[in-house]
Amino acid sequence: MVIHSKWRFMSKLLLAAQVCIPIFFALAFLSHYIGYASTNNDLMVLKVNGPIQPSTADYLERMIAQAESNESTGILIELNTPGGMLDTTRKIVASFLDSDVPIITYVSPSGARAGSAGTFLVAASHIAVMAPTTNIGAASPVLSDGSDLNKTLASKATQDTAALMRSIAETRGRNVKALEATVLSAKAYSAEEALESHIIDYMAKDRDQLLAILDGKTVVTKSGSTTISTSSMNLYEGKRNWKEKFLDAVGDPNITFILLTIGSIALTIEFVNPGILVGGFVGLLATALAFVGMGQLPVNWFATVLILAALILFVIETQGAGIGLFAIGGTICFGLGGFLLYGGFGDNSFHANIFSLSMWLLGSVILVLSGLVLFLILALRDSIARGSPSNYSTLIGSEGIVKGTLNPNGTVWVGSEMWSATSLSNLKIDSGRSVVISSYDGVQLIVSEKSEEL
């Protein structure tokens, strides 16, 4: 029977963490100093295309600080978003209201939208513009899986969110009732309706027309009034740095779940059969990336507990000759955890189904996971059957390689399997040395160096 060294497994994971984590934080620190040179005659162009999540706030705040430092003419944000997270939206709104440079949001191209959270960003801008055939609104808070809040929670969350919208509208001189209706009644407006209702300031079919409209306009910011002159203006794009791109990538709900699945499988295999560093390293890395991605998403942490419980059940199943009940329970826990992973119980989202897991992906993962667990269980039980005490005598005289230093206990590789072993006469045998199996004690092999006399 194969016995596993849990301490060796944990030490290898800690070693991998000591290598990976400092590198990640060092690169993240350096990324804050990567920027673009500009002059005060420039207009910074930013693109926000997708859900509003923490990496979006990091990107916008960094670019606003850079524009202020360079005394740029302003910031043009080309926006197309279905919505996003409430806390992140509040953070971005605060940075817009506190900006020393004019913030211009442009909902574009045609067909784009400033849904839910995007409505707040447009309203908080100094100048709000929309392209034809775009829409804005439907800013009522919902659960992150798209379902409605319960009555009491809905009332509190809606009133709080409506108060935020009123304060923004009053600060920017926009139509308070029309914007408040996007929260209280989930009302949405076309570009034409938004212009007529004084939710936005202008309509422009493209960027050139927008720049023509902006020329000569005076904007009042926190630091005073400024006049925009676009006749000799240079446009440059403020791009996301590597950290923000990385967070955008791992912050995709499906990517995060795939990473969590890979990490879970790899760690389970390494725990069941320790000694191969690659499995532990891949498992640790994938799991770490998954948790980084979860930091960008409205995660239901109860679902994470279910997934961790599934791993424990898988390991328990492989440690005994059960009938598969633990494996079945683990698969159910993993599937349920995946289903609930982005269905948080808080009011931290603005729009339905932005942060949701593909049911096709979840079903595929459950099928693959079930197959892998079944294969692992059958393989392990076959190994147990072949390694029963009645067959141990056939191993005597066989040669093996030390994988975990015997001092006097450790692991040896015999044939195609990892075994726990102890050295003859309690002598230390270094990793990589050849050994000969002399006897066995219960389920543990007793070995000696090949050069020793048996």
Phi, psi for 42 (deg, rounded to 5): -105, 150
Q: What is the rounded CA–CA span in Å between residue 305 and residue 317?
A: 18
pLDDT at 410 over 50: yes
Banded pLDDT at 407 (limits 50, 70, 90): confident
Query: 188-190 and 135-137 as β-strands: parallel, antiparallel, unpaired?
Result: antiparallel
Banded pLDDT at 16 (limits 50, 70, 90): low
pLDDT at 351 over 50: no
pLDDT tens digits, one per residue of 127-174: 999 999 999 998 776 554 444 555 555 567 788 899 999 999 999 999
pLDDT at 344 over 60: no
Report yes or no on 442 lying in a domain: yes
Report yes or no on 374 lying in a domain: yes
Report yes or no on 454 lying in a domain: no
pLDDT tens digits, one per residue of 105-139: 999 999 999 998 999 999 999 999 999 999 999 87
Do residues 138 and 151 share a domain?
Answer: yes
Nearest to 290 by CA among 325, 317, 252, 318: 252
On average, the pLDDT of the chain sits at 80
Do residues 343 and 403 share a domain?
Answer: no
User: Contact at 8 Å (CB) between 421 and 442?
Assistant: no
Q: What is the rounded CA–CA span in Å between residue 248 and residue 295?
A: 11
Banded pLDDT at 340 (limits 50, 70, 90): confident
Do residues 218 and 361 share a domain?
Answer: no
pLDDT at 246 over 80: yes
pLDDT at residue 347 in the model: 43
Q: What is the rounded CA–CA span in Å between residue 385 and residue 67?
A: 69
Domain boundaries, position 400: 391-448
User: Contact at 8 Å (CB) between 420 and 277?
Assistant: no
Least confident of 324-328, 331-335, 343-347, 355-359: 343-347
Do residues 206 and 66 share a domain?
Answer: yes
Banded pLDDT at 5 (limits 50, 70, 90): very low
pLDDT at 373 over 80: no
Q: What is the rounded CA–CA span in Å between residue 115 and residue 83?
A: 5
Q: What is the rounded CA–CA span in Å between residue 10 and residue 7?
A: 5
DSSP for residue 102: -
DSSP for residue 252: S
- Top-confidence residue, 80 or 300: 80
User: Contact at 8 Å (CB) between 411 and 444?
Assistant: no
Report yes or no on 359 lying in a domain: yes
Do residues 266 and 123 share a domain?
Answer: no
Report yes or no on 1 lying in a domain: no
Mean pLDDT, rounded, for 48-65: 94
Could you give the residue ranges of the DSSP H alpha helices within 199-295? 207-214, 242-250, 253-272, 277-294
What letter represents residue 66's amino acid?
Answer: Q
Under DSSP, is residue 187 helix (H, G, I), strand (E, B) or coil? coil
Percentage of residues in the chain having pLDDT higher than 90: 32
pLDDT at 39 over 80: no
**For residue 154, what is the domain's CATH number?**
3.90.226.10
Mean pLDDT, rounded, for 336-348: 69
pLDDT at residue 273 in the model: 65
Strands (E), 405-451: 409-414, 417-423, 434-441, 444-449
pLDDT at 33 over 70: no
Percentage of residues in the chain having pLDDT higher than 70: 76
* Distance, C-alpha 185 to centroid of its chain: 32
pLDDT at residue 177 in the model: 96
Banded pLDDT at 232 (limits 50, 70, 90): confident
Do residues 45 and 178 share a domain?
Answer: yes
Do residues 148 and 111 share a domain?
Answer: yes
Report yes or no on 396 lying in a domain: yes
Question: Which of 371, 386, 401 represents a domain boundary (last residue)?
Answer: 386
pLDDT tens digits, one per residue of 66-120: 999 988 899 999 999 998 888 899 999 999 999 999 999 999 999 999 998 999 9
Banded pLDDT at 261 (limits 50, 70, 90): confident
Report yes or no on 453 lying in a domain: no
Banded pLDDT at 210 (limits 50, 70, 90): very high
Do residues 105 and 121 share a domain?
Answer: yes
pTM: 0.71
- What's the number of domains the chain is made of? 3
pLDDT at 425 over 60: yes
Could you give the residue ranges of the DSSP H alpha helices within 71-219? 86-97, 117-124, 151-172, 176-184, 191-196, 207-214
Q: What is the rounded CA–CA span in Å between residue 341 and residue 305?
A: 10
